């Protein structure tokens, strides 16, 4: 079954997922995710395009990269923590205060 944009939008709404898109020609509306995707493409895709034989291979590699980024990469702006650790500490601070 070919999944059109309209179909995908309807399905995401059914799941309670809200679509977030920048205005045309304005990547600054969502700069945090744009920076992340740029980093991900530079680190795991560019120069490796032909290593992915199928879209499933690419999707698996992207999921592995996201897990690696969230759980192993230390980010200076996050007080030298991984994104997951920083998120957990932030949530605990909110709950305890």
How are the residues of the chain apportioned to helix, strand and coil, as percentages rounded to the nearest 5? 70, 0, 30
Mean pLDDT score across all residues of the chain:
86
Decide if pLDDT at 83 tops 90. yes
Q: Domain extents for the chain?
A: 24-96
**In the prediction, which pLDDT does 57 show?**
92
- Indicate whether 56 pLDDT > 60: yes
Each residue of 6-27: pLDDT tens digit? 887 888 888 888 777 667 777 6
Tell me the average pLDDT across 31-52: 89
Would you state the pLDDT for residue 1?
55
What is the torsional sign of CA 64, 65, 68, 69? Answer: negative
Angle (CA) 45 47 48, round 5°: 55
Length of the chain: 97
Task: Give the pTM.
Answer: 0.65
Residue 84 confidence (pLDDT) above 90: yes
Backbone angles phi, psi at 81, to 5 degrees: -110, 165
């Amino acid at each position: 079954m070919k999944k059109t944009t309209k179909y995908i939008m309807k399905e995401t709404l059914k799941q309670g997922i809200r679509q977030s898109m920048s205005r045309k020609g304005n990547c600054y509306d969502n700069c945090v995710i744009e920076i992340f995707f740029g980093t991900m493409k530079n680190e795991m895709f560019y120069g490796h395009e032909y290593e992915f034989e199928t879209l499933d291979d690419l999707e698996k590699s992207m999921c592995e990269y996201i897990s690696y980024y969230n759980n192993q990469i230390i980010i200076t702006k996050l007080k030298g923590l991984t994104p997951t650790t920083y998120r957990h500490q932030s949530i605990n601070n909110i709950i305890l205060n």
